[in-house]
């Protein structure tokens, strides 16, 4: 029984683009269909290893041009489609690659088609009608899917014995006005050239019957058009960057060259080849739950698994690529793979390799490393923090910060190397951005002393620093937490004297703020600012902010200490008022506290109280 169905809206849009494509590189349809055929054979082969109902066979892809009918057929003996799969896979854009492409298309122009894996629908760039004859080992009958690339397609049951898929393209008429010559897709020479260009490394033979002349007689001969050597098996010297870039873009659905390519062959007690890439742009779903890390796994060039998670640690989850190892048996089940010692050893080697390549990049090409770091720094930082800092030593030298001394990033190593001998700690301050941090009252004295301060502007930063605790024995020290440790003795002494002198007013303020702060003290770290808020050791004010934004926010609160600048005229003013009328201290204390909160970028805790006191004060000042 014949069924007519509508394409999903997204697919209709993409199809429309394909049928009306003015894009010149229409030839890429062949690459797409051959690559689908090769994937389908991979699937069948893999399933046949564990499922005896699926027979193994000699796997092949055939190109069958027919000049009379103006059709080109691409035939494979891969896994085929069931009826449901035809609907799911050809009636809708299900694949992430095509989806990403669609999103891109909406923003950019059509010229990116050639760089992107757009898949099956690209057939409609060259054909006005497409027929798919297919048989899956999971269904008793075969099916014919057909469409003229408009809003609907049809599915009919057909007789088909062999498992696999045959895609027939009814090529467009040549358009002499536009010099578009679709009939070339029927000639041997062009097909051979295109296979060489795009599909040479496909692992299964791509075959074609070719008529050759021998002693003036014509005879038909079967030719294999591809070399079948996977790109990663070719020698490095023979490979051009371009080849690797093209391979990456096609295999991993990107439209830009990778930022970094790592091609490594290891031989010895463990033998494998790895071809790894870091995408230039963060993949669109990278920070979503949907993103799956992993590397493709091959055994002797035969595909085993698409995203093997065990081959990549979470903190390098941005790496894409593949591993091919003869040490991994083809017949291994996925559960067994997880326990597999070889996989573990390869994973550990790959991790070291990625790390050392990144370190090399940091050393030899800073600009490129910065590009990488800007894209993926959160993943690295989370890696330092995760698992109670288990991997911090591995990752700490890949982390960089902007600082108060320059707009460039520096590493912790560079910070420690260039700090003055006498400086005992690595100073840092947390805030929204550079300007916010530079304006913090706590920066007053540090600026005076000329210390370099790391800017912590990502939410994860302070959590990471607390886990790091020290960098090669130099401790980290927050400017917004605990005691300032760079105050000289003389100043400390004079502060002590001042605290004694102002005992009563400090005590009164502390009392006024007893629900809000742990302590009120005179500060040695301020010069221009009247007050600042610091936190005790442990949880900082910034961390409090971050934790409160979390979905299941707990009621966390950092310990607050209000520090007052004894040399600021404001302190003298408060003192004078206090002597005349001690009851005014509540207002001053509250306003000072709230002002310090604001300077930290924290919200006013009690806005009614704050504005009432402020008004009182203004009225008062008018009285005197
Ligand atoms: P993609 O190749 O990016 O997955 P396509 O639109 O090219 O997207 O194909 C959609 C799906 O249809 C594929 O994921 C695959 O499941 C299936 N498919 C395509 N070609 C074949 C084929 N020759 N044999 C079996 N399944 C195929």
Among 380, 283, 365, 271, smallest CA distance to 327 is for 271
What is the reported pLDDT for 96? 47
Residue whose tokens read 């079948």: 228
In CATH, the architecture of 399-479 is 3-Layer(aba) Sandwich (3.40)
Q: What 3-state DSSP class applies to 516?
A: coil
Tell the burial category of 318 from Cβ atoms under 10 Å away from its Cβ (0-12, 13-18, 19+): buried
Compute CA distances 532 → 377, 514, 525, 568, 600, whole Å: 31, 17, 9, 12, 8
Distance 85 CA to ligand 1 centre (A): 9
Here the tokens at position 79 are 């896994």
Domain 3-224 matching CATH 3.30.565.10: the answer reads yes
Give the distance (Å) from ligand 1 centre to CA of residue 88.
10
Take residue 116 and report the two structure tokens written for it.
């992107």
Assigned token pair, 583:
């009851």
Q: In what order do the strands lie in the sheet with 152-158?
A: 3-6, 152-158, 142-147, 127-135, 164-171, 71-76, 61-66, 206-214, 217-224
Q: What is the pLDDT of residue 486?
A: 79
3-state secondary structure of 133: strand
Tell me the domain boundaries of the chain: 3-224, 231-370, 399-479, 485-624
Query: Is there an atom of ligand 1 within 6 Å of 163 CB?
Result: no
Mutation pick for ligand 1 pocket among 38, 117, 119 (CB with most ligand atoms within 8 Å): 119
Tokens of 465: 């620093």
Strand partners, 453: 427
Do residues 202 and 74 touch, judged by C-beta distance below 8 A?
no
Please tell me the distance between residue 117's alpha carbon and the centre of ligand 1 in angstroms: 11
Closest CA relative to residue 259, chosen from 271, 245, 247, 269: 245
pLDDT of residue 114: 45
**What pLDDT, on a 0 to 100 scale, did the predictor assign at position 115?**
47
The strand pairing partners of 299, in sequence order, are 302
How confident is the model over 551-560, as pLDDT tens digits? Answer: 877 778 889 9
Q: Residue 612 and residue 162: Cα distance in Å, rounded?
A: 85
How far is it, in rounded angstroms, from Cα 376 to Cα 531?
37
Selection from 206, 168, 163 nearest residue 188 by Cα: 206
Task: HSE, CB side, 13 Å, CA atoms: give it for residue 110.
Answer: 16
Ligand 1 pocket mutation pick from 120, 168, 206 by most atoms within 8 angstroms of CB: 120
Q: What ligand 1 atom has the least distance to the C-alpha of 76?
A: 23
Expressed in angstroms and rounded, the spacing between residue 38 Cα and the centre of ligand 1 is 10
CATH number of 231-370: 3.30.230.80
Residue 536 in contact with ligand 1 by CB distance below 6 A: no
**DSSP 8-state secondary structure symbol assigned to residue 180:** B
Report how far residue 363's alpha carbon sits from residue 367's, in angstroms, rounded to the nearest whole number. Answer: 10
Task: Report residue 367: phi and psi, to 5°.
Answer: -60, -40
Ligand 1 proximity of 442 Cβ (cutoff 6 Å): no
pLDDT in tens, 233-279: 888 888 899 989 988 988 888 889 999 999 999 999 899 999 999 99
The string of pLDDT tens digits covering residues 5-24 is 998 877 787 788 777 765 66
Long-range contacts of 21-28 (CB under 8 A, 24+ apart): 21/110, 21/113, 21/125, 22/110, 23/110, 23/111, 23/113, 23/114, 23/125, 25/113, 25/114, 26/125, 26/126, 27/185, 27/194, 28/113, 28/114, 28/122, 28/198
- Give the integer Cα–Cα distance in Å for 123 and 21: 11
Q: Where are the beta strands (DSSP E) in 162-216?
A: 164-171, 206-214
In this prediction, residue 103 carries a pLDDT of 62
Residue 25 CB neighbour total at 10 angstroms:
13
Q: Residue 404: which residues within 8 A CB-CB, separation 6 or more?
A: 437, 438, 443, 446, 447, 451, 452, 453, 455
Q: Which tokens in the block code for residue 329?
A: 């048996």
CA distance 269 to 253: 34
The answer, yes or no, to whether any atom of ligand 1 lies below 6 A from the CB of 117, is yes
Instruction: Tell me which CATH code domain 485-624 carries.
Output: 1.20.120.790
And the tokens for 213?
């002349």
Cβ pair 346, 273 in contact under 8 A: no
Q: HEC string of 246-295?
A: HHHHHHCCCCCCCCEEEEEEECCCCCEEEEEEECCCCCCCCCCCCCCCCE
Atom of ligand 1 lying closest to residue 132 CA: 23
CA-nearest residue, atom 7 of ligand 1:
119
Taking the C-alpha atoms of residue 14 and residue 8, their distance in angstroms, rounded to an integer, is 10
**Residue ranges for the chain with pLDDT beneath 70:** 21-24, 93-118, 330-334, 622-624
Q: Ligand 1, atom 19: nearest CA belongs to which residue?
A: 36
């Amino acid at each position: 029984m014949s069924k007519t169905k509508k394409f999903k809206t997204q697919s209709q849009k993409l199809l429309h683009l394909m049928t009306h494509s003015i894009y010149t590189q229409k030839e890429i349809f062949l690459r797409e269909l051959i690559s689908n055929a090769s994937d389908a054979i991979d699937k069948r082969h893999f399933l046949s290893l564990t499922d005896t109902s699926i027979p193994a066979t000699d796997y092949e892809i055939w190109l069958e041009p027919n000049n009379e009918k103006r059709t080109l057929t691409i035939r494979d003996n891969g896994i085929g489609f069931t009826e449901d799969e035809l609907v799911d896979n050809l009636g809708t854009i299900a694949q992430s690659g095509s989806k990403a492409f669609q999103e891109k298309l909406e923003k950019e122009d059509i010229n990116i088609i050639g760089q992107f894996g757009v898949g099956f629908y690209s057939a409609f760039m060259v054909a006005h009608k497409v027929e798919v004859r297919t048989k899956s080992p999971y269904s008793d009958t075969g099916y014919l899917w057909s469409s003229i690339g408009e809003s609907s397609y049809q599915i009919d049951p057909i007789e088909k014995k062999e498992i696999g898929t045959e895609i027939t393209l009814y090529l467009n008429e040549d358009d002499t006005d536009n010099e578009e010559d679709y009939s070339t897709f029927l000639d041997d020479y062009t097909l051979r050239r295109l296979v060489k260009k795009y599909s040479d490394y496909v692992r299964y033979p791509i075959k074609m019957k070719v008529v050759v002349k021998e002693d003036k007689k014509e005879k038909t001969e079967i030719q294999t058009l591809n070399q079948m050597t996977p790109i990663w098996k070719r020698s490095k010297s023979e490979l051009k960057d371009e080849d690797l870039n093209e391979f990456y873009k096609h295999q991993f659905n990107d439209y830009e060259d990778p930022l970094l390519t790592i091609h490594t062959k290891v031989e010895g007690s463990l033998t494998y080849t790895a071809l790894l890439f870091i995408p230039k742009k963060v993949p669109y779903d990278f920070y979503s739950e949907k993103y799956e890390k992993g590397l493709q796994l091959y055994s002797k060039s035969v595909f085993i698994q698409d995203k093997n998670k065990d081959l990549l640690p979470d903190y390098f989850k941005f790496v894409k690529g593949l591993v091919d190892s003869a040490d991994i048996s083809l017949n291994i089940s996925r559960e067994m793979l997880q326990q597999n010692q070889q996989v573990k050893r390869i994973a550990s080697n790959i991790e070291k390799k990625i790390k050392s390549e990144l370190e090399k990049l940091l050393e030899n090409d800073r600009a490129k490393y910065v590009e990488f770091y800007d894209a993926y720094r959160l993943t690295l930082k989370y890696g330092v923090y995760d698992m109670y800092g288990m991997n911090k030593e591995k990752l700490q030298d890949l982390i960089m910060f902007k600082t108060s001394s320059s707009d460039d990033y520096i590493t912790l190593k560079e910070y420690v190397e260039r700090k003055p001998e006498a400086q005992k700690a690595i100073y840092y301050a947390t805030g929204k951005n550079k300007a916010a941090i530079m304006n913090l009252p706590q920066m007053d004295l540090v600026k005076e002393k000329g210390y370099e301060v790391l800017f912590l502007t990502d939410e994860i930063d302070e959590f990471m620093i607390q886990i790091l605790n020290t960098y090669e024995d130099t401790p980290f020290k927050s400017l917004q937490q605990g005691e300032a440790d760079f105050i000289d003795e003389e100043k400390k002494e004079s502060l002590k004297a001042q605290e004694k002198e102002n005992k009563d007013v400090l005590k009164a303020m502390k009392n006024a703020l007893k629900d809000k702060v742990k302590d009120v003290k005179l500060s040695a770290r301020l010069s221009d600012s009247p007050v600042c808020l610091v936190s005790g050791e442990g949880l900082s004010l910034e961390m409090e902010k971050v934790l409160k934004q979390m979905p299941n926010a707990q009621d966390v609160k950092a310990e607050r200490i209000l520090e007052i600048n004894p040399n600021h005229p404001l302190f003298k003013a408060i003192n004078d008022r206090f002597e005349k009328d001690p009851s005014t201290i509540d207002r001053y204390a509250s306003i000072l506290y709230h002002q310090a909160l604001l300077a930290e970028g924290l919200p006013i805790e009690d806005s009614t109280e704050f504005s009432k006191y402020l008004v009182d004060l203004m009225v008062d000042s008018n009285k005197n």
